[in-house]
Structure 1
Amino acid sequence: MSFSAFEPGSVSLGSLRRQCLFAVTILLVEDSRSASEAIRLFAAESGARVRRADSLHAASRHLAIYRPNVVIVDLGLPDGDGMALISHLASASTPIHGIVAMSGHDRSAWQEAALAGGASACLEKPIPSLAAFQECILSVLPDATTRRGPDAQRQLDLTDRASVRAAFAEDLQRAKCLLEEGIRIEDADTVAYCAQFVHSIGEMLGDAPLETAAHAASESAAAAQALLDLLTRRVSGSRNSAIRGVA
């Protein structure tokens, strides 16, 4: 699917379509497929183009050949701290000014450090609305004033999108595999990363038991195992739903 394509019936068309980010290029540094898919749909609705990097290493490869208008950096990445990438981009000899820090943790815990490190704006996952996404990206663009049009308060419901549901299922499977390995080799860092990753998924899904289990997973081996058991059930449930859907 093209990043600029609209799914049939997703939004009202014509003059109600607000393409306020037309031709804006975004590099999204985010390891979660489901979070990435949600942002891709918001960007497509707004006229922006998105490339995704799922790690710091992948981001460096993109940035070696590509200079986006905006870089959105998730702070919790599998191969390092997103804050380091933000600082690097902001202090480079040719800095990128449109840097957006993003995290699933409460904004009060990281916003100050992100802004001090060079971010121009912050996004907290899950992003509450299309308007919130658009306003955040507009806030880091030098031509934001000319891009802003009459307010069009629309909701873009992502939970019913097949692509988002598929991305959530893939994220849960990935988290399950990582957590199994982390528990097996007693790697506390991997367990902690999985806990943060799953907590963000739980927030986006509105899955309170998943959020609670993920929050506790770093506290003890028993809590980590409880999260793994829950993930196993969720993954099994997703597979069964998929089978019923094609039966």
Structure 2
Amino acid sequence: MNTDSTATTLSPALPPAQPYQRGGTLLLVEDSRLTADYVRLMFRSAGGRLRRADCLRSGRRHMSLYTPDAAIVDLGLPDGSGLDLIAEMARRRPRTGLIVATSGDPEMEEEAFLAGADRFLPKPFGSGAAFCQMLAPVFFGLRGAVVEQASPGQAALRDDLYLALDLLNGTGTRPAYALQFIAQLACMTGDFALERAVIARDMAQVIALLRDRLRALPLI
């Protein structure tokens, strides 16, 4: 995984800082298990609860039951844009204390802020320190935390590779979403060959590379 430091961007209209909390809830709306594992590992010191939704529908279901203390929302989801969910979170009362938009496309930053996000976190994620600093105003356990760089397991990578192949083979999948998911996976893992194949839209090569990556992983 790329470990280069990546700074988050703050919205010019960032709401007043919330009091530090113990045991708060972070809602992660993210389709990639690899990214979700990274966030889970980074969040271990928070002393809070992590809840994950893998699509807009699931994210809305969570929001109908509770208001999270913070939320990280991927902008590219299988059933639509995370911008819609961010706008709903920003309008909701009580409002989610910290709404973070995340995307592998830096050009989405302005749209994220217009939708109501407080911060923008580009992918691939940077250092664990930057991640913890971003969430520290909401989660007491991350204040001054010393966190080692997260290394998600191979099971998470395997799941994302299988999902990528399923997206390419699925009849109901939006082609643009499938390519966006695979491009993000390539970026998160530093797989430049896969990234070039996606940019070239060489689908035969993309499929061949995904299968090669799966065969290279150990069975256990």
How would you bin the TM-score normalised by the shorter chain? Answer: 0.7 to 0.9
1:224 to 203, 211, 219: 203
1:118 to 116, 119, 125: 116
* Percent of aligned positions that are identical: 36
Q: Secondary structure at the match of 2:95?
A: coil
Does the CA contact (< 8 Å) of 1:25 and 1:50 recur in 2?
Answer: yes
Counterpart of 2:134? 136
2:143 to 142, 148, 151: 148
Distance 1:228 1:86, change over 3 A: same
Counterpart of 1:99? 99
After TM superposition, what 4+ stretches of structure 1 lie above 6 angstroms from structure 2?
none
Deviations 1:2-34 (A, max 9, x none): xxxxxxxxxxxxxxxxxx975231000001011
TM-score, scaled to structure 1: 0.73
Amino acid at match of 1:126: P
2:167 to 172, 178, 182: 178
Give the deviation of 1:39 after TM superposition: 0.3
Separation in 2 of the partners of 1:21 and 1:174?
36
Separation in 1 of the partners of 2:154 and 2:183?
17
Q: Secondary structure at the match of 1:119?
A: coil
Deviations 1:135-164 (A, max 9, x none): 22235x3x87x9733x74x53241xx5xx2
1:27-46 matches, cutoff 5 A: 27-46=27-46
1:151-166 matches, cutoff 5 A: 152=146, 154-158=147-151, 161=152, 164-166=153-155
Counterpart of 1:220? none
Does the CA contact (< 8 Å) of 1:27 and 1:68 recur in 2?
Answer: yes
Counterpart of 1:198? 182
Give the deviation of 1:194 after TM superposition: 1.4
Work out which structure has the larger RCO, using CA pairs closer than 8 Å and 6 or more positions apart in sequence: 2
Amino acid at match of 2:162: Q
Counterpart of 1:235? 214
1:52-67 matches, cutoff 5 A: 52-67=52-67
Give the deviation of 1:122 after TM superposition: 1.2
Give the deviation of 1:205 after TM superposition: 1.2
Separation in 1 of the partners of 2:92 and 2:22?
27
Separation in 1 of the partners of 2:32 and 2:93?
30
Does the CA contact (< 8 Å) of 2:27 and 2:53 recur in 1?
Answer: yes
More helix by proportion, 1 or 2? 1
Point out the more displaced range, 189-198 or 50-59.
Answer: 189-198
Amino acid at match of 1:200: Q
Counterpart of 1:167? 156
Amino acid at match of 1:121: R
Q: Secondary structure at the match of 2:125?
A: coil
Does the CA contact (< 8 Å) of 1:179 and 1:190 recur in 2?
Answer: no
Deviations 1:63-112 (A, max 9, x none): 1112210011000000010001101111124332311001122x2x0111
Separation in 2 of the partners of 1:96 and 1:148?
19
Structure 1 unaligned residues grouped into runs of 5+: 1-19, 218-222
The count of corresponding residues between Structure 1 and Structure 2 is 201
